[in-house]
């Protein structure tokens, strides 16, 4: 059995920032980072538009409380206000930290960090590195980890979270290169395992965003919070779903329907902010235009037009968006509009944690030895709808905080008592069973079927019966996965089909929890829109939902309260009210 004081799972922004905080502040601790892909291939590297902080470089009227208010309002009042306070108050300092680590931000003429407009933010506060911000930040974080000599388990896949006797003790891990299985124990474990976009058939997320961490938590008997809130980004390139950053609208792009109208003006909820309305509203409007037959040529997409910005601005401010259009569709946005439609982008929900990143169980008690941060966590700063550029911020603020908290937490904490043998044997048996099963169902068609089911039954618009049918169908499909799968590759070394089969288990588990949570919330709030319950219902649903699997392996739901602490500081702004823009 291997052991480390602290194990961080995930090499994206949240995991790397946490591991770095431990290496910097607690040099005596043995910290290891595990990642199923090379850390700089984590989805964070694809983040484009930027990271929010009230630096006041462009807009002297901005401050953290205004950033906090925009975030809470954007969340449709479901965010925990104590966590939002930590997020927005810490933001300017974490940007300065990143700069000191070597991150190359875009600049104003006077040399200060530039800031651009983003949807739902009332001030220009999004810092950026052209439209390749995630790339700029992640590369510096990972370089710094190499500099500190942090142990990295490169391309190791976590198979199981060991949670016994009321504490988290370790992990079961598969080395993808050799097929070897190991049990690891630690005094504390941090999950920073990212999102689950691949549960759906059209997503901006990378292939590794399969919600593994979420599934492992559920399988260990822990709940997931607010999983019904799936963010659809308004502008996925049609038909592939690859992201065209919100920075493009931040720089002034128009959304046009088949009649050439800027249709955002036709909806009362978006006629003020137009293309810079929050994502839930913009995505719904695009879906409505398409439904009404006003997609381009009556089809499944609208146009995103930047021609009026001019070549110089396009090339300097949004070069990546232009490259993507040319590379994937052969369209140069200097000369022609880009076809776009909403694409699954981000998970507002996740593993519930305290503001100090410690994971909470179903009774809202902290789980000893277990922490989570970044997209897989639900601390909750985004509530029912995340504002663009607040996620990179969450990863950096709560990644750093998690590292600092864990460093202090493990001082004086002994290694847990753990017998690795049963875990090792079970994992060996599970892998052998997957490899040797002689069913008739093939992996990739099963995955596509699941993704299509989720997209149809739990998309932008939802309804009780369609959700119930979806849950039933997903469970039926899961039984085929469990009993009737056949893999073509039966080897243990770099078996990508085996990895995909393990990831498919995650997609099933996460999909079930999303459907059950969406069915239980009989109201419309943020990204969760119920056609059979079109209004927000604070008296019953101003609560976080919890989805979990009971001892009979059935999905169940319950709720827990929302923290409204900023309301006391500024009741006029923070008391829940109707969300208008
Ligand atoms: C195209 C795109 C553009 C975006 N642009 C922006 C933006 O401009 N601004 C913004 O604020 N947000 C943006 N976002 C959102 C933001 O990038 C993500 O929410 C954030 O980067 C997630 O970081 P993370 O560290 O939580 O996870 P990730 O970066 O997704 O990393 C997850 C890590 O977990 C590891 N992992 C997962 N499962 C396992 C397992 N079973 N075993 C071992 N390792 C595992 C992976 O190897 C990986 O290293 C964007 C997202 C996308 C998809």
* Residue bearing the CA closest to ligand 1, atom 13: 47
Q: What's the CA dihedral at 382, 385, 387, 389 to 10 degrees? A: 60
Q: What is the pLDDT of residues 331-354, one digit of tens each?
A: 999 999 999 999 999 999 999 999
Q: Which two tokens stand for residue 547?
A: 């989805």
Q: How many whole angstroms from 354 Cα to the centroid of ligand 1?
A: 21
Q: What is the DSSP letter of 4?
A: E
174: pLDDT confidence band, cut at 50, 70 and 90?
A: very high
Mean pLDDT in residue range 15-30: 97
The preferred substitution site among 37, 194, 198 for testing ligand 1, maximizing ligand atoms within 8 Å of CB, is: 194
| CA of 131, closest atom in ligand 1 | 8
| CA of 392, closest atom in ligand 1 | 11
Q: How many whole angstroms from 97 Cα to the centroid of ligand 1?
A: 20
149: pLDDT confidence band, cut at 50, 70 and 90?
A: very high
| CA of 50, closest atom in ligand 1 | 8
Residue 272 CA to residue 294 CA, distance in Å, equals 21
Question: How far are the Cα atoms of 174, 236, 470, 489 from residue 177, in angstroms, in the given order?
Answer: 9, 34, 37, 14
Q: Which residues are catalytic?
A: 279
The preferred substitution site among 7, 8, 9, 10 for testing ligand 1, maximizing ligand atoms within 8 Å of CB, is: 10
Residue 467 CA to residue 364 CA, distance in Å, equals 27
Residue 163 CA to residue 169 CA, distance in Å, equals 6
* Residue bearing the CA closest to ligand 1, atom 35: 10
Q: What is the pLDDT of residues 60-100, one digit of tens each?
A: 999 999 999 999 999 999 999 999 999 999 999 999 999 99
Residue 394 CA to residue 355 CA, distance in Å, equals 11
Q: How many whole angstroms from 160 Cα to the centroid of ligand 1?
A: 20
Q: Where does ligand 1 bind, in terms of residues with CB under 6 Å?
A: 9-15, 34-37, 39, 42-44, 46-51, 133-134, 157-158, 192-195, 204-205, 208-209, 212-213, 243, 346, 374-376, 388-392, 395
Mean pLDDT in residue range 541-556: 95
Q: With helix as H, strand as E and coil as C, how does 510-550 read?
A: HHHHHHHHHHHCCCCECCEEECCECCCCHHHHCEEEEEEEC
Q: How many whole angstroms from 422 Cα to the centroid of ligand 1?
A: 32
Q: What is the pLDDT of residues 550-576, one digit of tens each?
A: 989 899 999 999 999 999 999 999 999
| CA of 134, closest atom in ligand 1 | 17
Q: What is the pLDDT of residues 239-264, one digit of tens each?
A: 988 999 998 999 999 999 999 999 99
Closest CA to 123 of 179, 186, 215, 60: 60
Q: How many whole angstroms from 139 Cα to the centroid of ligand 1?
A: 14
| CA of 376, closest atom in ligand 1 | 26
Q: Is the pLDDT of residue 311 over 90?
A: yes
pLDDT score of 580:
87
Q: What is the pLDDT of residues 498-522, one digit of tens each?
A: 999 999 999 999 999 999 999 999 9
Q: Is the pLDDT of residue 324 over 90?
A: yes
Q: How many whole angstroms from 435 Cα to the centroid of ligand 1?
A: 29
């Amino acid at each position: 059995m291997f052991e480390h004081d602290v194990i961080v799972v995930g090499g994206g922004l949240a995991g790397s920032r946490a591991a770095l905080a431990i290496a910097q502040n607690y040099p005596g601790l043995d910290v290891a980072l595990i990642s199923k892909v090379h850390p700089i291939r984590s989805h964070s590297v694809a983040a484009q538009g930027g990271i929010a902080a009230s630096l006041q470089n462009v807009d002297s009227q901005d401050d953290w409380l205004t950033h906090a208010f925009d975030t809470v309002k954007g969340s449709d009042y479901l965010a925990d206000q104590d966590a939002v306070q930590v997020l927005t108050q810490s933001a300017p300092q974490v940007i300065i930290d990143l700069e000191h680590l070597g991150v190359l931000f875009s600049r104003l003429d006077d040399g200060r960090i530039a800031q651009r407009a983003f949807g739902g933010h009332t001030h220009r506060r999004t810092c950026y590195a052209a439209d390749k911000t995630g790339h700029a930040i992640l590369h510096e974080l990972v370089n710094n980890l190499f500099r500190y000599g942090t142990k990295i388990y490169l391309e190791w896949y976590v198979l199981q979270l060991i949670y016994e006797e009321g504490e988290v003790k370790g992990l079961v891990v598969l080395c993808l290169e050799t097929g070897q299985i190991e049990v690891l124990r630690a005094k504390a474990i941090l999950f920073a395992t990212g999102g689950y976009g691949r549960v759906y058939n059209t997503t901006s997320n990378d292939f590794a965003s399969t919600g593994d961490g979420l599934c492992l938590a559920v399988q260990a008997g822990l709940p997931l919070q607010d999983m019904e809130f799936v963010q659809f980004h308004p502008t996925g390139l049609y038909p592939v779903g690859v992201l065209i950053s919100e920075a493009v609208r931040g720089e002034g792009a128009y959304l046009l329907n088949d009649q050439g109208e800027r249709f955002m003006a036709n909806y009362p909820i978006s006629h003020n902010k137009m293309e810079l309305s929050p994502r839930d509203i913009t995505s719904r409007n695009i879906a409505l235009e398409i439904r009404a037959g006003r997609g381009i040529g009556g089809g499944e997409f609208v146009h995103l037009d930047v021609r009026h910005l001019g070549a110089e601005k396009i090339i300097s401010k949004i070069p990546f968006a232009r490259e993507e259009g040319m590379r994937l569709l052969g369209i140069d946005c200097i000369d022609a509009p880009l076809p776009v439609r909403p694409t699954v982008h981000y998970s507002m929900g996740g593993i519930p944690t305290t503001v100090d990143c410690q994971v909470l169980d179903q009774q809202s008690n902290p789980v000893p030895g277990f922490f989570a941060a970044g997209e897989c966590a639900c601390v909750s700063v985004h509530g029912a709808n995340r504002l663009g550029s607040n996620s990179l911020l969450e990863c950096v603020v709560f990644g750093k905080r998690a590292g600092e908290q864990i460093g202090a937490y493990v001082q004086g904490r002994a290694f847990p008592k753990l017998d690795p043998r049963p875990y090792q044997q079970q994992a060996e048996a599970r892998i052998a069973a997957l490899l040797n099963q002689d069913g008739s169902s093939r992996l990739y068609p099963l995955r596509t079927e699941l993704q299509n089911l989720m997209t149809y039954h739990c998309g932008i618009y939802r309804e009780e019966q369609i959700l119930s049918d979806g849950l039933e169908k997903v469970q039926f499909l899961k039984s085929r996965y469990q009993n009737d799968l056949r893999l073509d590759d039966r080897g243990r070394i770099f078996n990508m089909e085996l990895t995909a089969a393990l990831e498919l288990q995650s997609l099933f588990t996460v999909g079930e929890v999303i459907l059950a949570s969406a069915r239980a919330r009989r109201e419309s709030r943020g990204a969760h829109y119920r056609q059979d319950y079109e209004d927000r219902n604070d008296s019953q649903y101003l609560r976080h939902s919890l989805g979990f699997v009971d001892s009979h392996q059935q999905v169940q739901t319950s709720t827990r309260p929302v923290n409204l602490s900023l309301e006391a500081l500024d009741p006029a702004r923070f008391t829940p009210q109707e969300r208008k823009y």
